[in-house]
A and B are shown apart, each in its own frame.
Chain A
Amino acid sequence: MDLDFWLPLFFASAMGLALLIYVILDGYDLGIGLLLPLANEHDKDLMIASIGPFWDANETWIVLGIGILLIAFPQAHGQILTTMYIPVTLMLMGLILRGIAFDFRAKAVSHRKRMWNAIFSTGSLITASAQGWMLGTYITGLGHGGLNYLFSVLIAVTLPALYILLGAAWLLIKTEGALFDRALVWAQRAILPMGFALLLVSIATPLVSQAIAAKWFTFPDGLKLLPIPLLSTALYTSLLWLLFDQRALRQPGKEWLLFGGLIALCLLAGLGLAYSILPDIIIGKMTIWESASSTDSLLFTFWGTAIVLPAIIAYTFFVYRIFSGKTTTLTYE
Chain B
Amino acid sequence: MFDIDPFILARAQFAANISFHILFPSITIGLGWILLFFRLRYTMTGDTHWENAYHFWVKIFALSFAIGVVSGITMSFQFGTNWPGFMERTGNISGPLLGYEVLTAFFLEATFLGVMLFGKNRVSNKVHLLACSLVAIGTTLSAFWILSLNSWMQTPTGYVIEDGVFYVDSWLAIIFNPSFPYRLAHMLIASMLTAAFLVLGISAWRMRMKVDGPATAKVFKAMTVIAMIFAPLQVFVGDLHGLNTFEHQPAKVAAIEGVWETHSGVGFTLFGFPDEETRTTRFALEIPYAASLILTHDINGEIRGLNEFEGEHPPVAIVFWSFRVMVGIGMLMILVAWWSGWQLFRRKQKPGVWLLRAASWMTFSGWVAVLAGWYVTEIGRQPWIVQGLLTSAEVVADHSSGIMLSTFTGYMALYVFILISYIATLRYMATKPAASLMAMNQVPGQSTQPIAAARG
Contact = CB atoms under 8 A, between A and B. Distances in A.
Interface of B: 55, 58-59, 62-63, 65-67, 69-74, 76-77, 79-81, 84-85, 87-88, 91-93, 95-96, 98-100, 102-104, 106-107, 110-115, 117-123, 167-168, 171, 397, 399, 403, 407, 410-411, 414, 418, 421, 425, 428-429, 440-447, 451-452, 454-455
A42 B76 CA distance: 36
A53 B95 contact: no
B102 to A, nearest CB: 5
A331 B446 contact: no
Contacts of B88: 74-75, 78
A168 interface: no
B21 to A, nearest CB: 11
Dominant secondary structure of chain B at its interface with chain A = helix
B38 to A, nearest CB: 13
A309 B103 contact: yes
22 contacts: A40-B454, A40-B455, A53-B115, A53-B117, A56-B110, A57-B114, A59-B69, A60-B106, A60-B111, A71-B98, A74-B87, A74-B88, A74-B95, A78-B397, A82-B84, A85-B399, A96-B74, A96-B418, A297-B91, A300-B168, A301-B99, A331-B120
A297 B168 contact: yes
5 A-B pairs with least C-beta separation: A78-B84, A74-B91, A45-B444, A81-B80, A329-B445
Contact of A107 (B80, B81, B112, B429): B429
A63 B73 contact: yes
A53 B77 CA distance: 25
Contacts of B119: 53, 322-323
A250 interface: no
Nearest to A94: B70
Contacts of B418: 96, 100
A309 B99 CA distance: 12
A278 to B, nearest CB: 21
Given A52-B114, A85-B81, A57 B107 contact: yes
A202 interface: no
A182 B122 contact: no
A104 B423 CA distance: 11
A220 interface: no
Given A85-B81, A95-B70, A40 B446 contact: no
A308 interface: yes
Contacts of A89: 81, 407, 410
A57 B85 contact: no
Interface in A191-227: none
Contacts of A233: none
Among the interface residues A64, A95, A301, A330, which one has the most CB atoms of the partner chain B within 10 A? Answer: A330
A194 to B, nearest CB: 21
Contact of B66 (A56, A316, A323): A56
Contact of B114 (A54, A71, A177): A54
A66 B66 contact: no
A18 to B, nearest CB: 10
Given A92-B77, A99-B70, A330-B444, 11 more contacts: A43-B451, A59-B69, A64-B103, A74-B88, A74-B95, A78-B87, A79-B84, A89-B407, A93-B414, A329-B445, A333-B120
